[in-house]
């Protein structure tokens, strides 16, 4: 057993496990919400998280102009400034992920529901034209101009095609999800400033011990992650249970057809659902960069798979299940890697999933956004 | 002559090779209770589904206060003022009775994402309004004592009435009831009759699809009869009851034998 594992105590593993688990849980909420409403596994949700980490990076390094290192030291901020900065960065990350999720729904899923609209057609047409023009022209500015010019006719053609009102088979949604996932992460990998390299995010916060519990030093960033995640989840639960739109989300999750006949605007509810999932992923993304100080074009992949696992573990479609599954997965991974060694971390997570699903096929708390005592 | 609310104009509905409705014309007038009857498979429920926008008619038009329903999206049909209940109960089973009704009431409110997040005073006010209105409807239907019970745990009779309360919450002009008396005992049917009359007194127009002749004949102002997708009679309950074609349809006498 390597040395560093012996130094780590049980409580230390618990704290870091809970922090990691909180991030899983927040991302898992996105999978669970969309599954609850559309019975669709939104595989591209992991990239929504990735977009959020880049949103956080842009917010801190560009909008707030915080350098990676100031005079060779970390650009630590303190007090009120720190809080305002953190909140600002989180809001921007949420905005990126939220918009990302809504655009994804419009472009990748809504046309397949036989419900395509001009917005989705225009975005899709622009992207198509842009990508095609890249093959022929090597200058970004000219590409954009070509894409803009080609957008109108192509989007018109797409509209004609989308408006047929036919619902695509289930498999088409899955393929669209996987395609969108690859497309988003590759787009960032190819076109962002440093391409496929790792990006460092500025470290605003001195990662010192906040308090000591059971002989373990609890670092301030872990505390922020856990508390922040719990606050966001509470807010989401209140939104779903107490507001009119939340009621709509639950109604559509239980019976979309009846909701529609009762005058619920199902397409709007679907947008709201994607936006909620996106905002949660954006929050998770900001908390992630706070702890790990880095991001990369493919950062969403493994984390997305884990979060999806967490959602299934707790019972997909169930908001409390996402929380439970996320925290449990974070803890089990940490304890497991301490016992068996870090290289087994990912294996342990999936073994736990398999064992749980053998005994409880619908996850620990069962499926139930629709059947919602959320 | 009162105003025509819903106008079914030569509607034909085909599913593949099967003709479920064949050139049916039907009018529902403001403030009346229209009973729609017919043997199993006569096309009653299809008629209903066309009316509430579940299907678009193959031929012909359905218009509501002069608006062509085929041009509206399904959730917009609720907004113009048509509400329905289901033959097989379709409540949101995990929500409370009150919440079920509130989903219906929400159809009349403007959904604002910002308002929902920021809890603006208008939002809170509207939420309170929906809650009160929904509670009133539960009282009106006589089921307010179980307002906080999950719909799936309600007794059968309560579930049927809850469906009606939920439909009324959308503030319809026309309320369509699809076999509301199914599975009721005679005493319950009697109560239901009174309820339907009470609903009409409140100013709603009611379309009633029913198997049970007693219910239909007692409460309807006018009765239309469908058989094999065609309208075979339309008139006062007493006249329809004695109409030979209707008797033939119900007793299964062949047309050419008479």
Structural domain boundaries in chain A: 31-116+165-195+203-298
pLDDT at A369 over 70: no
Find which of A335-339, B31-35, B114-118 is predicted with most confidence, using mean pLDDT.
Answer: B31-35
Cβ contact, residue pair A255, B90, below 8 Å: yes
Q: Is the model more confident about B228 or about A166?
A: B228
CB pairs under 8 A between A and B: 87
- In degrees, rounded to 5, the angle at the alpha carbon of residue A261 between the alpha carbons of residues A259 and A267 is 60
- Percent of chain A, pLDDT > 90? 36
d(CA B108, nearest CA chain A) in Å:
8
Residue of B nearest to A240 (CA): B116
Task: Round the average pLDDT of chain A to a whole number and report it.
Answer: 85
Kindly tell me if the per-residue pLDDT of A374 is higher than 50. no
B170: nearest CB among A246, A263, A371: A263
Given this model, what pLDDT does residue A372 score?
A: 43
- Residue B123, phi then psi, degrees to nearest 5: -60, -50
Cβ distance A244 to B126 less than 8 Å, yes or no, reads: yes
Q: Please determine, for residue B255, whether its predicted confidence score (pLDDT) is greater than 60.
A: no
Pick from A123-127, A316-320, B234-238: least confident: A123-127
What is the mean pLDDT of the segment spanning B210-235? 85
Distances in whole angstroms, Cα of residue B243 to Cα of each of A45, A188, B214, B237: 63, 75, 16, 10
- Checking if the pLDDT of A1 tops 50, the result is no
* pLDDT at site A265: 87
Q: Which of A262, A265, A276 would you mutate first to test chain B, the one with the most B CBs within 10 A?
A: A262
Q: Where are the domains of chain B?
A: 1-45+57-81+195-204+211-258, 85-170
For A213-263, write each residue's pLDDT tens digit. Answer: 777 788 889 999 999 999 999 999 999 988 888 999 999 999 988 898 888
Question: CA-nearest residue of chain B to A247?
Answer: B103
Distance CA A46, CA A25 (A): 13
* pLDDT value at B251 more than 90: no
CB contact under 8 A, A248 and B92: no
pLDDT of residue B257: 43
Residue B60, H or E segment: strand B59-64
Structure confidence at residue A373 (pLDDT)? 42
**pLDDT beyond 70 at B2:** no
The CATH homologous superfamily for domain B1-45+57-81+195-204+211-258 is P-loop containing nucleotide triphosphate hydrolases (3.40.50.300)
Supply the DSSP string of B114-130, one letter for each residue.
Answer: HHHHHT-HHHHHHHHHH
d(CA B151, CA B160): 10
Do the domains B85-170 and B1-45+57-81+195-204+211-258 match in fold? yes
pLDDT for A2 beyond 60: no
State whether CATH 3.40.50.300 applies to domain B85-170.
Answer: yes
Confidence class for position B42, pLDDT limits 50, 70, 90 = confident
The more confident residue out of A163 and A289 is A289
CA A322 to chain centre: 13
Q: Is the pLDDT of residue B253 over 60?
A: no
Looking at the predicted complex, does its ipTM rise above 0.90?
no
Confidence category of residue A110, pLDDT binned at 50, 70, 90: confident
Q: A191-200, A301-310, B185-194: which range is least confident on average?
A: A191-200
- How far is C-alpha A52 from the geometric centre of its chain's CA atoms? 7
| β pairing state of B59-64 and B4-15 | antiparallel
Which backbone phi and psi does B5 adopt, to 5 degrees?
-90, -50
Q: Mean pLDDT throughout B203-207?
A: 91
pLDDT tens readout for residues B103-150: 988 877 765 666 666 667 777 888 888 899 999 999 999 899 999 999
């Amino acid at each position: 057993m390597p040395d560093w594992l012996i130094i780590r105590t049980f409580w230390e593993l618990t704290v870091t496990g809970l922090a990691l688990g909180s991030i899983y849980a927040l991302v898992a909420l996105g999978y669970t919400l969309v599954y609850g409403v559309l019975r669709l596994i939104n595989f591209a949700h992991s990239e929504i998280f990735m977009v959020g980490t880049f949103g956080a990076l842009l917010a801190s390094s560009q909008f707030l102009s915080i350098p990676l290192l100031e005079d060779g030291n970390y650009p630590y901020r303190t007090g009120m400034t720190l809080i305002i900065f953190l909140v600002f960065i989180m809001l921007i990350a949420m905005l990126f992920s939220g918009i990302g999720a809504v655009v994804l729904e419009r472009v990748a899923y809504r046309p397949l529901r036989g419900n395509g609209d001009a917005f989705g057609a225009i975005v899709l047409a622009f992207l198509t034209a842009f990508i095609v023009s890249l093959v022929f022209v090597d200058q970004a500015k000219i590409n954009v101009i070509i894409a803009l010019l080609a957008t109108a006719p192509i989007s018109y053609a797409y509209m004609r095609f989308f408006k047929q009102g036919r619902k695509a088979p289930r498999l088409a949604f899955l393929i669209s999800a996987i395609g969108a996932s690859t497309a988003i992460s590759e787009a960032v990998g190819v076109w962002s400033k440093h391409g496929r390299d790792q990006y460092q995010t500025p470290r605003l916060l001195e990662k010192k011990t906040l308090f000591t519990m059971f002989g373990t030093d609890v670092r301030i960033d872990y505390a922020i992650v856990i508390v922040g995640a719990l606050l966001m989840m509470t807010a989401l639960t209140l939104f779903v249970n107490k507001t009119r739109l939340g009621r709509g989300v639950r109604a559509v999750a239980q019976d979309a057809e009846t909701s529609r006949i009762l005058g619920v605007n199902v397409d709007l509810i679907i947008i709201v659902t994607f936006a909620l999932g996106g905002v949660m992923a954006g929050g998770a993304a900001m908390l992630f960069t706070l702890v790990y100080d880095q991001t990369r074009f493919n950062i969403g992949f493994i984390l997305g798979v884990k979060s999806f696992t967490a959602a299934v573990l707790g019972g997909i479609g169930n908001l409390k299940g996402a929380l439970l599954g996320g925290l449990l997965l974070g803890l089990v991974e940490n304890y497991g890697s301490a016992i068996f060694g870090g290289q087994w971390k990912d294996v342990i997570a999936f073994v736990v999933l398999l064992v749980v699903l053998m005994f409880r096929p619908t996850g620990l708390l069962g499926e139930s956004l629709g059947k919602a005592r959320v | 002559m009162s105003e025509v609310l819903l106008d079914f104009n030569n509607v034909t509905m085909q599913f593949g090779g099967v003709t479920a409705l064949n050139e049916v014309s039907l009018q529902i007038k403001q403030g009346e209770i229209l009973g729609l009857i017919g043997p199993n498979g006569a096309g009653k429920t299809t008629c209903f589904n066309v009316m509430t926008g579940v299907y678009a008619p193959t031929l012909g038009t359905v218009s509501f206060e002069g608006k062509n329903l085929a041009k509206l999206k399904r959730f917009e049909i609720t907004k113009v003022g048509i509400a329905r209940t289901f033959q097989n109960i379709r409540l949101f089973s995990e929500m409370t009775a009150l919440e079920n009704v509130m989903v219906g009431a929400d159809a009349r409110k403007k959904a604002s994402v910002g308002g929902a997040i920021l809890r603006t005073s208008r939002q809170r006010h509207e939420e309170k309004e929906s809650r009160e209105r929904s509670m009133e409807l539960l009282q009106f239907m006589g089921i307010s004592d179980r307002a906080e019970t999950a719909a799936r745990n309600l007794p059968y009779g309560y579930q049927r009435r809850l469906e009606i309360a939920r439909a009324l919450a959308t503030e319809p002009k026309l309320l369509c009831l699809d076999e509301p008396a199914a599975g009721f005992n005679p005493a319950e049917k009697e109560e239901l009759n009174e309820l339907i009359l009470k609903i009409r007194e409140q100013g709603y127009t009611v379309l009633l699809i029913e198997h049970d002749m007693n219910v239909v004949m007692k409460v309807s102002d006018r009765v239309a009869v469908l058989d094999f997708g065609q309208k075979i009679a339309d008139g006062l309950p007493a006249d329809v009851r004695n109409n030979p074609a209707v008797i033939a349809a119900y007793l299964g006498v062949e047309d050419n034998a008479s």
